[in-house]
Amino acid sequence: MKKSRLAIAALVITSIVWGITIIVLKLVLKEVPPFSLAFLRFSLASLMISPIFIFDGVHHPLHLKDTPKLFLLGLVGVTIHLSLIFFGVKNTTATNAAIITALTPLGVATAASSFLKETNSPNYYSGSLIALLGILAIFGAEPLFNSANFSPIHHLGNLLILGSVLTWSIFNIGSKELFKKYNSFTITAFLFLTGMVTFAPLAFLEYQANPTWTSHVSDQSILGIIFLALFSSVVAYLLYEWGLEHVRTSTAGLINYLTPVVTIISAVFILGETITLPFLLGSILIMCGLTLAIRPSSNHIHHSHKV
């Protein structure tokens, strides 16, 4: 019982950290270009996690024949996925980003149904329809009720965040066999390295285009980068994986709902974002739809949407 409570606490801490992550991204991206931020984040995270990865590799060696597939999955699940998130967060509100990324479990379930022929209950389709109505409320009605603060670029940001849900769903489907073969830590450590390698040339191009950005980085942004590498990547991941081992998947899924709540509250108080009626209505529809859609699948693990 004590270990179960500690696991719940670990998952709650993880959800809070990932909820704050979008706020930190929003602030740091004002001073640091997206690809450069991603490169710095994964370089630091890889450096921090490498001792554990080396130790774990002795007991769970990675087969050379699997590295091409892992690298390809890294391109989808890290490079493309996080590029969409970073540019999406940069061009939309943190509140919109939070509620759209909450659709990830539904996206994974849809991909599993389409490509792995996994069956879904009638509740899944009803919940999906309700969640879709929520998305339409945010995309369609938001400009009418929040015209003073709404910019057409928000639509682009929303679509990019929606695209990140798609790429994460593809990653989950493609990595299913590898997760049966290797533990999740080995795969994630390799993905950190993939992120560092693939974002390096993109960060170099950003530096060539604007070499002066490094002279305008504040202490706040430096702390933000450290937070993204240490807490959002390494600490939150380790707590999440440990917590999953000691609680039911349905419990973990319920705790994940805390993440968008933390983001929305933080966005209001830290970023000064406003909550409009369409956003509130859309959020309620999305969360109700998600709860209805994934309830029958509590015995299946839907990998959390990591940012």
Q: How far apart are CA 10 and CA 97, in angstroms?
A: 24
237-253 pLDDT, tens per residue? Answer: 888 878 877 777 666 76
Handedness of CA 45, 47, 51, 57 (dihedral sign): positive
Using the predicted structure, report yes or no on whether residue 265 has a pLDDT greater than 80.
yes
Q: What is the DSSP string of 246-257?
A: TS-HHHHHHHHT
Helix locations, 210-248, DSSP H: 219-227, 236-244
Biggest alpha carbon distance in the chain? 58
Q: How does DSSP assign 41-88, residue by residue?
A: HHHHHHHHHHHHHHHHHHHSPPPGGGHHHHHHHHIIIIIIHHHHHHHH
If pLDDT is split at 50, 70 and 90, which confidence band does 49 have? confident
Dihedral angle over CA of 192, 198, 199, 201, nearest 10: 150
- For residues 3-26, give the mean pLDDT: 90
One-letter amino acid for residue 72 of the chain: L
- Domain boundaries defined on the chain: 2-297
Q: What backbone torsions phi and psi does residue 151 show, to the nearest 5 degrees?
A: -125, 145
- Residue-wise pLDDT for 75-103, tens only, equals 998 999 999 999 999 998 898 898 888 87
The average confidence (pLDDT) of the chain is 83
* SS3 state at 29: coil
List pLDDT tens digits, range 214-236.
999 999 999 999 999 999 988 98
The predicted pLDDT at position 302 comes to: 46
- Name residues whose C-beta falls within 8 Å of residue 93's C-beta, 6 or more positions apart in sequence: 154, 157, 267, 271, 273
pTM above 0.75, yes or no: yes
Give the Cα separation of 139 and 150 in Å (integer).
11
pLDDT of residue 288: 86
Distance CA 55, CA 242 (A): 17
